[in-house]
Amino acid sequence: MAFRAPLRMMSSVARQKLKIGLIPADGIGREVIPAARATLEALGSDIPKLEFVDLEAGFELFATSGEALPEDTVEALKECDCALFGAVSSPIKKVTGYSSPIVGLRKKLDLYANVRPVVSVPKDPSAKPNIDLVVVRENTECLYIKHETMTRTEHGREARATRLITERASRRIGKMAFEIALKRPRKLVTIIHKSNVLSVTDGLFRESIHSVKRLEEDGRFDSITLEEQIVDSAVYRLIREPQIYDVMVAPNLYGDILSDAAAALVGSLGLVPSINAGDDFVMGEPVHGSAPDIAGREIANPLAAIRSAALMLRHMGYGKGADRIDNAVNEVIREEQVLTPDLGGKSKTHEVLAEVLRKM
């Protein structure tokens, strides 16, 4: 089922060509991004002529060059219409000089919204999915500003992290969530927070989102139903009764955790797409990580990256091309004949791609 999207659509009318930056980055990103590119190329006249720009970033690049996100990559993206990002390896221990390039790109390009639709694929194409929700995650703040310190005390080391929540960022992610909800039948937005404990930071987040609806002078959000859920309770209810959710809007960390948990409900992280969106640029990114344990073995699931390409197109106004990709992917999932091991199959990455292209 296609994501009933979008946010602030970019006009597709005047474009004669789409210039797309490709950043495979680390691990299986180098296997799934070429698959996403192939599906875009298969669309033909449903989208403008394509030009691809191959760009570098990632931990593997850092290991060889000392740079995880070259300035040349950032500048090249500013000349592109959109981009696809693969996956990045993030070491669990501090590595001096290294900072995640995907976090850096979100900040440098002001891609303030990470939008992750999680939709099940029913066996019967005419049936409604039992899971159909969207996690709208604020992309630039919270603990992901990575302001951390370590000091020594008489009792040992003491680590601190600064968490940032601003009214501006909270309001614009709230508005993004409302815009998405307006395009969906239920028109329900649930604010995810922990303001019963973090009354200042999460309190500001929830209050700012409430103010978006209240301050919208033309009343365009009057049809939106606004609810709230404490984050730990939200995770519990997401597992027990995911059908209660429509659009979930959350600070950065909560949104990251919730969307990965939701992916388990539809079978695999290898199925869940996302876009990083700002007002003028969009970058598709599969939700899964770099999976170094399977990199190079040709068993990576390309469907999340392929769906991310479709989501990127839909955001830009190319719904026909996005529908062709989404419908083909859904057919492959329903038939259960050509699937990678994460979905219980035995097929290789290139075989799944070939089946999607055949369905298209």
Q: Look up 93 and say whether it is catalytic.
A: no
Asked if residue 23 lies in contact with residue 86, where contact means CB atoms within 8 angstroms, the answer is yes
Catalytic entry in 54, 72, 232, 280: 232
Gap between the Cα atoms of 70 and 284, Å rounded? 19
Catalytic entry in 112, 144, 245, 254: 144
What is the amino acid identity at position 318? Answer: Y
Residue 163 CB neighbour total at 10 angstroms: 17
| C-alpha distances out from residue 118 to 67, 231, 261, 308, Å | 33, 18, 10, 12
Asked if residue 272 lies in contact with residue 119, where contact means CB atoms within 8 angstroms, the answer is no
What is the amino acid identity at position 288? Answer: H
Q: Look up 123 and say whether it is catalytic.
A: no
Q: Look up 81 and say whether it is catalytic.
A: no
Catalytic entry in 81, 194, 202, 342: 194
Catalytic entry in 46, 110, 260, 279: 260
Catalytic entry in 256, 318, 326, 342: 256
Residue 233 is classified by DSSP as H
What is the amino acid identity at position 104? Answer: G
H helices, E strands: number in the chain:
11, 12
Which residue numbers are catalytic? Answer: 144, 194, 232, 256, 260
